[in-house]
Structure 1
Amino acid sequence: MTYTWTGTADTATDIDDVARLLTARGERIPHPDLDPWVRDVDADMLRMLYRDMTIVRRIDTEGVALQRQGQLGLWAPCQGQEGVQVGTARALRQDDFVFPSYREAGVLYVRGARPGDFTLTWRGEEHSSFDPYELNVATPQIIIGAQTLHAVGYAMGIQRDGDDQVAAAYFGDGATSQGDVNEAMVFASSFQAPVVFVCSNNQWAISEPVTVQGKFPIAGRAPGFGIPSLRIDGNDVLGSLAAMRWALDHARSGKGPAFIEAVTYRMGPHTTSDDPTRYRDKDEVERWRARDPLTRLEAHLRSIDAFDEDFARDVSEAADRFAADMRAACLASPSREPIGVLDHVYAEPHAGLDEQRAQFAAYLDGFGDDQEAKP
C-alpha cells in the first residue's frame, strides 16, 4: 500500500482530518490504512507503550526541575508529544539510524539512552551525551531542520552500501519553513533515498503558530515532492506506531522516502527560557490537555481490563527510579575547568587554537584566585 494524504482539511490547524486508532476518550476505532500495521499489537505491547510514555514524561519533568535548580543550562520540554515519539520510535529497527531535533527525549529513551545521556549536553559537560553508534542516534540537532539533510545523506549511503536500513529525521512544524527541509525532500525524492520524515506539528514554532508556517496542512506538501504522506493524530501512540511501520516498510522496500505529519501539542514552553503565556491562551492549552496521549491509552487499557493499580504502581516506580538515576548522573558529573571548552576541537595541535587558549586563559585570570585557568 502506498498512501498519499489527500485530506479535506482547509487550514493548517485542522485536527479532525487526521488518521487515528485511539480517540481522545481511549476508544479503539478502525482505520483501513492503519489497522493492517498493528494486527500483532496485544495488551502487553500496549502496556509497554504506556510504560514508555510514563517514563518519558517523568524524564521531562526531571529535566525541567534540574534546569530550574541551576543544574542544567537549558531544557526543551516534550510533555504532550510522548505519543508520536514513543510510537514511531518503537517501530524502528535497531540498525535504523535516527536524526533527531533537541526535543525527542522519547525517541532517545526508546533507543536505549541511559539516565545520564539526557543531561550532560544540557549541563555543558559534553559535546554529545552519548556515542551515536551505540544508540544509532545522531547528536540531537540544535540548528533547525539541518538534521533532515544529514538523514538524507545517510540514507543515500545506505543505498550505495546495498543495505536495507532506514534513516529517520524528526523535526517540528517550524522547521518546515527552513530551506534545509525542502532541499532534503528534493534530494530524497530524486534519489529515492530510504528515509522517513517525521514532522511533529506541535502547533507552535516558539511563539509563532503553525498558520505562519503554512495555510494548509503540512502533510499536503510532501506529495508535491513526489513523497507519499500520512497526517495522523500524534497523541495516539497506537496510530503513530502504525503510521511509522507503514513509512518504514515503504522506505525499506526500495520505494523511496515517506512523510508523516503528527498533529500534536507542546504543553509546556518551547524551552525553559520561554514563557508561553505571552502568546497562547489558557483555553487552548486545556483543550489539548483533554487529548493527552497517556490518559487516552490508560482509558483504553482500562476498557480491555489491562490496567490495574498494581500495574500503575509498577510503572510509577520505574519512572521515579529512572528520574532518580538521571538526577544522580547529572549531579555527579564532574565540571571541567572553563578552559577545557577548547579541548578536543582539533585532533592535532593548531596554532590558531593555541592563540585562542592563551586569550581565554588571560580572560579567566581576570576573575582572581577563585577562577583558576590552566592553559
Structure 2
Amino acid sequence: MTAHGGVNCYSVWEGSTATVAKVTVMDTLPPLATGETAAPSPGQLRELYSLMVAVRHLDSSAVAWQRQGIIPGYAPELGQEAAQVGSGYAVDLTRDFVFPTYREMGVARAMGVDMVAYMATHKATWHGGLYDPMESRLAPIQAVVAGSVLHAVGWAHGQTLTGTADGKLGVALSYFGDGASSQGDVHEAMNFAALMKAPVVFFVQNNGWAISVPTERQVAGGSVAARAQGYGIPAIQVDGNDVVAVLEATRHALAHCRSGNGPALVEAMTYRRGPHSTSDDPGRYRSLAEERDGGGEDPLERFRQRLLADGIADEAFFAAALAAAKAEEEQIRAGIQALGPRPGNEMFDLVFQETTPALQAQGASWREESEHV
C-alpha cells in the first residue's frame, strides 16, 4: 500500500496465473474501530451466492417477459449482480433507508422486498410499486436520472435533526450511475450532505456506460470517487464484480455515516453487459467484441469458483441454488400475470393530497373519452 496526498492506493493482483491484471483502488475512508464490522461467515457467503443466482435468473426472465408482452419495459442489470447484492445485503433494515433508481432489482431482492410487488412497477400497474416503502425500507423506484439522490440527502438530514435513542443514526443509501453523476442534482446533493454532515452513502454503480456514452467521455476527473474529495467526502472505489468486496466497502461506509461523521461515497466499478433498457440497441454504439472484453469475468462464475476453492460450497449446493431461483421466478411470473389493471382514474386522484381544478378537468375529460361517463 502506498499513500498519495491522503489517498490510500492498494495494488491488487487479480485473475489466474495465466491472465493477471493490476487494479488500483482508491480509499479515503477513515479506518474503522476494531470489530466494528465482521467478515461474512460461510453461511452468509452461501446466501450471497444464492441471492446472486436468484437475481441473475429473474433479470434474464424479466427481459423475456418484456419480449412476451407481460411487462412493457425493463432495465436489465446483467453483470451488476455483485454490486447490487453486496450493497443491499449490508443495509440495516431496522434503521436505514434505500433510495433506488430503475435498475436496482438486485438490491430489492437482497433486502427481502416482495418481488411480485416490486416488479409490478415494471408492469406499470401502480406508480411507485405495490410494496410498502416504509415497511421494506426501499423508496419507490425513481425513473428521473439522479432524482432520488436529493431525496436521500433530505431523509438523511432528517436523521440528524431527530436523532436516535442509541446515538446510532439511520443511513440513507442512494444509488445512481456514472451517467447520473454528471447531473446537477448530484452536485447539489453532495454539497448539501457535506455541509450538513448528513448520514448518506452515495453508491455509484459505474457500469462504463451512460446509455450510449462511455464513462471516459462524460466523467471529468478520472472517476466519480475522485470527485468526492472536492466536497470533503471520503470515498472508496471498489471492484464491483466482487460481491464480498462490495459488501465490506458498503458496511464500512455505512458505519462511517452511522457514527455521525457525515456522508461517504462508494464507487463500484462494474460493467453493463446488456442494453441500457429493453428499448435500447447496444449494437449501435459498441461491438460484441467490445462488450465481451469490457465485461471481464462473470461476477457470478467468479464467486462460484471462490466458494469452491475455499471449500464453502459444492456442486450440490450450486444445483440447489439454481433450482430455487427457477422456482422463485415461476412464482413471481405467475404473480405478475395475475395482477389486474389499475383503474385509470387513479392517474388523477393520487397526484396531490388536495386535487386542483386542472386535474379535475383532465379527469373528467379522460372519463368522458375512456369510460363514456
TM-score, structure 2 length as denominator? 0.88
**Distance in 1, Cα, partners of 2:239 & 2:11:** 6
**Distance in 1, Cα, partners of 2:261 & 2:295:** 38
What is the count of residue pairs matched by the alignment? 353
| CA 138–5 in structure 1, closer or farther in 2 if over 3 Å, else same | farther
| CA 19–190 in structure 1, closer or farther in 2 if over 3 Å, else same | farther
The list of structure 1 runs, each at least 4 consecutive aligned residues, that deviate by more than 6 angstroms after superposition, is: 17-20, 31-38
Shift of 1:123: 1.2
Query: 1:265 aligns to what?
Result: 271
Query: 1:107 aligns to what?
Result: 107
Select 1:197's aligned residue among 196, 199, 202.
202
Give SS of 1:127's match: coil
Shift of 1:161: 0.8
User: 5 Å matches for 1:53-92?
Assistant: 53-92=52-91
- Are 2:217 and 1:212 aligned? yes
Letter of the structure 2 residue corresponding to residue 195 of structure 1: V
Select 2:326's aligned residue among 314, 320, 330.
320
User: 5 Å matches for 1:227-266?
Assistant: 227-266=233-272
**Distance in 2, Cα, partners of 1:126 & 1:4:** 49
Give SS of 1:168's match: strand
| CA 37–171 in structure 1, closer or farther in 2 if over 3 Å, else same | farther
Does structure 1 retain, via aligned residues, the 8 Å contact 2:178–2:219?
A: no
| CA 90–24 in structure 1, closer or farther in 2 if over 3 Å, else same | farther
**Distance in 2, Cα, partners of 1:42 & 1:336:** 44
**Distance in 2, Cα, partners of 1:37 & 1:279:** 45
Letter of the structure 2 residue corresponding to residue 140 of structure 1: I
Shift of 1:36: 7.8
- Are 2:151 and 1:150 aligned? yes
Letter of the structure 2 residue corresponding to residue 99 of structure 1: F
Root-mean-square deviation (Å): 2.7
Letter of the structure 2 residue corresponding to residue 102 of structure 1: Y
Shift of 1:119: 2.1
- Are 2:96 and 1:96 aligned? yes
| Structure 1: 5+ residue stretches without partners | 9-16, 365-372
Shift of 1:337: 4.7
**Distance in 2, Cα, partners of 1:191 & 1:80:** 35
Does structure 1 retain, via aligned residues, the 8 Å contact 2:201–2:253?
A: yes
Shift of 1:283: 1.8
Give SS of 1:171's match: strand
**Distance in 2, Cα, partners of 1:258 & 1:340:** 39
- Are 2:311 and 1:305 aligned? yes
| CA 24–181 in structure 1, closer or farther in 2 if over 3 Å, else same | farther
Give SS of 1:321's match: helix
Does structure 2 retain, via aligned residues, the 8 Å contact 1:4–1:228?
A: no
**Distance in 1, Cα, partners of 2:234 & 2:96:** 20
Query: 1:169 aligns to what?
Result: 174
**Distance in 1, Cα, partners of 2:135 & 2:208:** 33
Q: Which has the higher contact order (CA 8 A, sep 6+)?
A: 1
Percent of aligned positions that are identical: 40
Does structure 2 retain, via aligned residues, the 8 Å contact 1:5–1:220?
A: no
Query: 1:354 aligns to what?
Result: 360
Query: 1:294 aligns to what?
Result: 300
Shift of 1:284: 2.2
